Structure 1
């Protein structure tokens, strides 16, 4: 007998008992009570039972607490996984059927697949940023870590101790949401994006396991979206924040390079479908009511969130797609001679102006060949074009002569460089690179095109303009090869440039494409280029 029929029998029996207590015609109710349960249900709408049904509709049936989960009695969901989740509310046949509900994944050559690939490419620039770190953290599904992912959006920390029914509700719903995607997953067997694009993933050590788990639709996305919907119902005053966090949680799968965009979209769909189905389950509804009461008590007591909410907010501000435009520097990296001199000069600048930048992994010493704004989606084409050009030059045989200091005024400061004399081969290399990269360029960009930090998000407008006009104003006959060494006050630099400079020669050691950062620094390496051997 199904749960709903049994529930009707229980309600009917209790209604009869209740009516006997308040009615002065015991013989009538005694006769009804002697009817076996099954016939009672079958003759539910008989004349006598109409009065019982009316009483039930007005007064309700039983105590809603009777339907709640008995805490501590639900078995763990696949304990070998070590997730700490509990078995779900729904029987397997009651789960929404993902194979019947969602379309097939995008087919080869389709516009939908092209969009998936473009979105995946646009997320690569977020690696080495707080958003990628958050995407990595969102991969962890163990409870209570999974619940903690929503603590900032909920503005409340949830534990098994302070909100046992809320914790139980998420622990059981977790299993239903996770299983909702597997009918389609197992049927379509879609490969994951990293198997196609070869880009890094959030958890390289999980690569083999992920390859065995099909990509479409995203189970993480069903979990994150469904949990956000449930929590938004429990805490309507925080609904916007919770829905936004649920959305970002699903987008983390794209940033991590674990899932395609369409995997995530239809994973969210299955999460919503599962939550809708859960609302037809009386135990879920009873637990939901208890969870709402627990949350109200926690808010009244001022329970604080458990996450690092400031860091999370910083990461979320970056979105899940990098800027459509990236500010790049195709550059040569110096040999040991020039590198040593640049680092020594930079150390002196830091003594004079400690707020300046240090030449390090995020401020790589370099000699710019060209700076451009390129379409982020075309970065791979930019790398290929640059490699094709470099294959025509013996760059490591170039001998360049450094002969003076120069600086670009920036208010009361100056951005200082060691300058070198251009040689014909270097100018020709620059010219060919400009031509090769031209099809993938844009005229200008914004701060979003640059590599920034949470503490320094806004790029100086002077730099934004400088990159825009680099090709017409700083190449060809205007090209001055130079290696930026730091920031210093103008009075210090005015004196420095008048002092004797001892010339020296150096040769390039390597070539690369970097994303530009504040002050025009080579902030993040995008691609090591191949030099002719």
Structure 2
């Protein structure tokens, strides 16, 4: 699938109505465990990503691209709230554990899950250029989603309640806007790039990118519409990166790394498909 086709598929299908994969999960979930629920490590343990490619900015207006979030009393806003409430049932399930792993943007867990989807080991040892490229993209992403968050200032789902979430209740929960989702942006943009260097596994990689964003709904720190807006911005960012010579040079190197890494076989300890 070409990059243009991927962008069209993303932008055309992101807001289709009906049951989402997240809704399918919580509709089948078991009741929460009575034991204390697990959460991800504090954000203080996260590492700062290397500087992004687009140091002078992307010349993209994230707020204009995604438009405002749904209002709380709109049908979409009510659906967002209902999904947050219902997905609290996922505490203690495998989906909750996956959401904890997906909360980490430092690369360790994300690289493992995308490696399994791509059928090739991705990481600083096997594919150093690709790993660094993906981390640099997280820095670029912030220059796109953070200004949009500041414009809309949508409160996150756990604000004003004590329902379980998969991350510690730190100050950023109250101060960092919910819309659009940075994780939704990053997960989808990573998937677009990895599907380009491992095109024979594009469908599985893109599904992993979708699930990476959906984990934030399961985690309880984003609404579903936050994630979908993030995917719009992820597509826009990858399109802009493909106009940057340094990114394109690293992308070519990454393709060669992936080809070489593939000779070592598929990643170990991947879940059964």
* TM-based fold match above 0.5: yes
Partner of 1:100 in structure 2?
64
Q: d(CA) in 2 for partners of 1:162 and 1:95?
A: 33
Deviation, structure 1 residue 108: 3.1
| 2:255 maps to which of 292, 298, 314 | 292
What secondary structure, in the 3-state scheme, does the structure 2 residue paired with 1:288 have?
Answer: helix
Alignment of 1:358-373 (within 5 A): none
Deviation, structure 1 residue 273: 0.6
What secondary structure, in the 3-state scheme, does the structure 2 residue paired with 1:195 have?
Answer: coil
Alignment of 1:314-393 (within 5 A): none
Partner of 1:122 in structure 2?
86
- Report if aligned partners of 2:121, 2:127 keep a CA contact under 8 Å in 1: no
Partner of 1:187 in structure 2?
151
Partner deviation per Cα, 1:374-423 (whole Å, 9 max, x = no partner)? xxxxxxxxxxxxxxxxxxxxxxxxxxxxxxxxxxxxxxxxxxxxxxxxxx
Larger RCO: 1 or 2 (CA < 8 Å, sep 6+): 2
Partner of 1:266 in structure 2?
229
Alignment of 1:231-310 (within 5 A): 231-302=194-265, 304-305=266-267, 308-310=269-271
Cα distance change of structure 1 residues 171 and 194 upon mapping to structure 2, 3 Å threshold:
same
Matched, 1:177 2:141: yes
Q: d(CA) in 2 for partners of 1:223 and 1:86?
A: 15
Identify, as 1 or 2, the structure richer in strand.
1
What secondary structure, in the 3-state scheme, does the structure 2 residue paired with 1:193 have?
Answer: coil
What secondary structure, in the 3-state scheme, does the structure 2 residue paired with 1:310 have?
Answer: coil
Cα distance change of structure 1 residues 87 and 95 upon mapping to structure 2, 3 Å threshold:
farther
Partner of 1:229 in structure 2?
192
Partner deviation per Cα, 1:29-61 (whole Å, 9 max, x = no partner)? xxxxxxxxxxxxxxxxxxxxxxxxxxxxxxxxx
What secondary structure, in the 3-state scheme, does the structure 2 residue paired with 1:94 have?
Answer: coil
Partner deviation per Cα, 1:348-391 (whole Å, 9 max, x = no partner)? xxxxxxxxxxxxxxxxxxxxxxxxxxxxxxxxxxxxxxxxxxxx
| 1:109 maps to which of 73, 79, 102 | 73
Gaps of 5+ in 1: 1-79, 314-533
Alignment of 1:28-47 (within 5 A): none
- Report if aligned partners of 2:80, 2:224 keep a CA contact under 8 Å in 1: yes
Q: d(CA) in 2 for partners of 1:82 and 1:134?
A: 17
| 1:132 maps to which of 74, 88, 96 | 96
Segment drifting more, 268-277 vs 138-147: 138-147
What secondary structure, in the 3-state scheme, does the structure 1 residue paired with 2:271 have?
Answer: helix
Deviation, structure 1 residue 207: 3.6
Deviation, structure 1 residue 206: 3.5
Matched, 1:162 2:126: yes
Partner of 2:33 in structure 1?
none
Partner deviation per Cα, 1:129-149 (whole Å, 9 max, x = no partner)? 100111111101113333223
Matched, 1:144 2:108: yes
Partner of 1:323 in structure 2?
none
Partner of 1:218 in structure 2?
181
Q: d(CA) in 1 for partners of 2:113 and 2:264?
A: 21
- Report if aligned partners of 1:84, 1:143 keep a CA contact under 8 Å in 2: no
Q: d(CA) in 1 for partners of 2:112 and 2:163?
A: 29
Alignment of 1:32-71 (within 5 A): none
What secondary structure, in the 3-state scheme, does the structure 2 residue paired with 1:201 have?
Answer: coil
Q: d(CA) in 1 for partners of 2:154 and 2:66?
A: 14
Partner of 1:351 in structure 2?
none
Matched, 1:88 2:83: no
Alignment of 1:4-23 (within 5 A): none
Aligned length: 230
Cα distance change of structure 1 residues 144 and 179 upon mapping to structure 2, 3 Å threshold:
farther
What secondary structure, in the 3-state scheme, does the structure 2 residue paired with 1:241 have?
Answer: helix
Deviation, structure 1 residue 278: 0.2
Q: d(CA) in 2 for partners of 1:220 and 1:178?
A: 10
- Report if aligned partners of 2:46, 2:105 keep a CA contact under 8 Å in 1: no
Deviation, structure 1 residue 84: 4.8
